[in-house]
Amino acid sequence: MNKTQQQISEGILFTDQYQLTMAQLYYRIGLHEKKAQFDYFFRDYPDYGSHKSGYCVNAGLEWLLDWMGEARFGALEIEQLKSQRSSTGEQLFADDFLDWLSKNGNFESVTLYSIPEGRVVHPNTPLAVVQGDLAMAQILETSLLNHLTYQTLIATKASRMKDNCCSQLLMEFGLRRAQERAAIAGTRAALIGGADFSSNVGISHVLGIPPKGTHAHSMVQVFLALGATELDAFRAFAEIYPDDCILLVDTINTLESGVPNAIRVFEELRKKGHQPAGIRLDSGDLAFLSIHSAKQLNDAGFPDAKIVLSNQLDELAIWQITSQIQREAERYGVDPDSLLDRLAYGVGTGLITSKGDAALDGVYKLVALEEEGQWIPAIKISETPQKTLIPGNKRLWRVYDERGKATADLIALHDEDVENLDPLVLRHPSLTSMRRALTKDQFSKIEPLLLPVFDGGKPVYQSPSIEEMRTQRQDDLKMLDPGVRRLVNPHIYHVSISQTLWDLKKNLVQKYERNNA
Amino acid sequence: MNKTQQQISEGILFTDQYQLTMAQLYYRIGLHEKKAQFDYFFRDYPDYGSHKSGYCVNAGLEWLLDWMGEARFGALEIEQLKSQRSSTGEQLFADDFLDWLSKNGNFESVTLYSIPEGRVVHPNTPLAVVQGDLAMAQILETSLLNHLTYQTLIATKASRMKDNCCSQLLMEFGLRRAQERAAIAGTRAALIGGADFSSNVGISHVLGIPPKGTHAHSMVQVFLALGATELDAFRAFAEIYPDDCILLVDTINTLESGVPNAIRVFEELRKKGHQPAGIRLDSGDLAFLSIHSAKQLNDAGFPDAKIVLSNQLDELAIWQITSQIQREAERYGVDPDSLLDRLAYGVGTGLITSKGDAALDGVYKLVALEEEGQWIPAIKISETPQKTLIPGNKRLWRVYDERGKATADLIALHDEDVENLDPLVLRHPSLTSMRRALTKDQFSKIEPLLLPVFDGGKPVYQSPSIEEMRTQRQDDLKMLDPGVRRLVNPHIYHVSISQTLWDLKKNLVQKYERNNA
Say if B221 is an interface residue toward chain A (CB within 8 Å): yes
Q: Which of A17, A86, A182 sits opposite B243 (nearest CB)?
A: A86
Which of the four pLDDT bands, split at 50, 70 and 90, describes residue A491?
Answer: very high
pLDDT classification of A333: cutoffs 50, 70, 90: very high
The C-alpha of A444 sits at a distance from chain B's nearest C-alpha, in angstroms, of: 38
Cis ω on the peptide bond leading into residue B46 (within 30° of 0)? no
Q: Around Cβ A336, how many Cβ atoms within 10 Å?
A: 17
User: A8-62 pLDDT, tens per residue?
Assistant: 999 999 999 999 999 999 999 999 999 999 999 999 999 999 999 999 999 999 9
- What pLDDT does B165 receive? 84
Answer for the pair A53, A490: CB distance below 8 angstroms, yes or no: yes
Chain A, 234 to 263: residues with Cβ < 8 Å from chain B are 236-237, 239-241, 243-244, 251-252, 257
- Band of pLDDT at residue A125, cut at 50, 70 and 90: very high
Within a 10 A sphere around the Cβ of A358, how many other Cβ atoms? 25
pLDDT value at position B380? 80
User: Which member of B22, B85, B257 has the closest CB to residue A219?
Assistant: B22
Non-local (6+) Cβ contacts of A212 within 8 A are: A171, A197, A198, A199, B17
Provide, as residue numbers in chain A, all residues whose Cβ is less than 8 Å from the Cβ of B181: 10, 14, 180-182, 184-185
Alpha helix segments (H runs only) across A181-277? 182-193, 201-207, 217-225, 230-240, 259-271
Percent of all residues in chain A with a pLDDT value above 90, rounded to a whole number: 94
- β-bridge mates for residue A387, sequence order: none
B399: left (phi over 0), alpha (psi -120 to 50) or beta: beta
Question: What distance in Å separates the CA atoms of residue A256 and residue A215, rounded to the nearest whole number?
Answer: 20
User: B363-394, pLDDT tens digit by residue?
Assistant: 999 999 999 999 999 888 777 777 889 999 99
Read off the DSSP letter of residue A258.
I
State how beta strands A120-121 and A56-57 pair: antiparallel
Report in angstroms the alpha-carbon separations of B321 from A308, A384, B356.
48, 22, 19
Percent residues over pLDDT 70 in chain B: 100
pLDDT at A517 over 80: no
* Contact residues on chain A for B378, CB-CB shorter than 8 A: 221-222, 224-225
pLDDT of residue B387: 81
Strand partners, B374: B371
| Residue A426, strand partner residues | A436
* pLDDT at position B517: 60
3-state secondary structure of A120: strand
- pLDDT tens string, chain B, 517 residues long: the values are 888 999 999 999 999 999 999 999 999 999 999 999 999 999 999 999 999 999 999 999 999 999 999 999 999 999 999 999 999 999 999 999 999 999 999 999 999 999 999 999 999 999 999 999 999 999 999 999 999 999 999 999 999 999 998 789 999 999 999 999 999 999 999 999 999 999 999 999 999 999 999 999 999 999 999 999 999 999 999 999 999 999 999 999 999 999 999 999 999 999 999 999 999 999 999 999 999 999 999 999 999 999 999 999 999 999 999 999 999 999 999 999 999 999 999 999 999 999 999 999 999 999 999 999 999 998 887 777 778 899 999 999 999 999 999 999 999 999 999 999 999 999 999 998 899 999 999 999 999 999 999 999 999 999 999 999 999 999 999 999 999 999 999 999 999 999 999 999 999 988 888 876 6
Which residues on neighbouring strands pair with residue B247, listed in sequence order?
B279
Neighbours of B517 (CB within 10 A): 5
Cβ-based neighbours of B32, under 8 Å, separated by 6 or more: B23, B26, B100, B133, B134, B135
Q: Which of A180, A185, A219 sits opposite B150 (nearest CB)?
A: A180
User: Who contacts B347 (Cβ-Cβ below 8 Å, separation ≥6)?
Assistant: B161, B170, B171, B172, B173, B174, B195, B310, B313, B314
- How distant is the Cα of A275 from the closest Cα of chain B, in angstroms? 10
Tens of pLDDT, residues A230-259? 999 999 999 999 999 999 999 999 999 999
* Residue B511: count of CB within 10 angstroms of its CB: 11
> Any bridge partners for residue A285, and if so which?
none
Partner A, chain B 120-159, Cβ-Cβ below 8 Å:
134, 138, 141-142, 145-147, 149-151
pLDDT of residue A103: 98
Residues of A in contact with B222 (CB under 8 A): 26, 31, 36, 134, 366, 369, 378
- Report A:23-52 residues touching B (Cβ under 8 A): 24-26, 28-29, 31, 36, 38, 49
Q: Is B466 on the interface with A (CB under 8 A)?
A: no
Q: What percent of chain A shows pLDDT beyond 70?
A: 100
- pLDDT of the residue at B166: 79
A-proximal residues of B, 178-207, CB under 8 Å? 178-186, 199-206
- In 3-state terms, what secondary structure has residue B3? helix
Q: Are A233 and A247 in contact, with CB atoms under 8 Å apart?
A: no
Smallest CA-to-CA distance from B409 within B21, B95, B55 is with: B55
What is the reported pLDDT for B215? Answer: 95
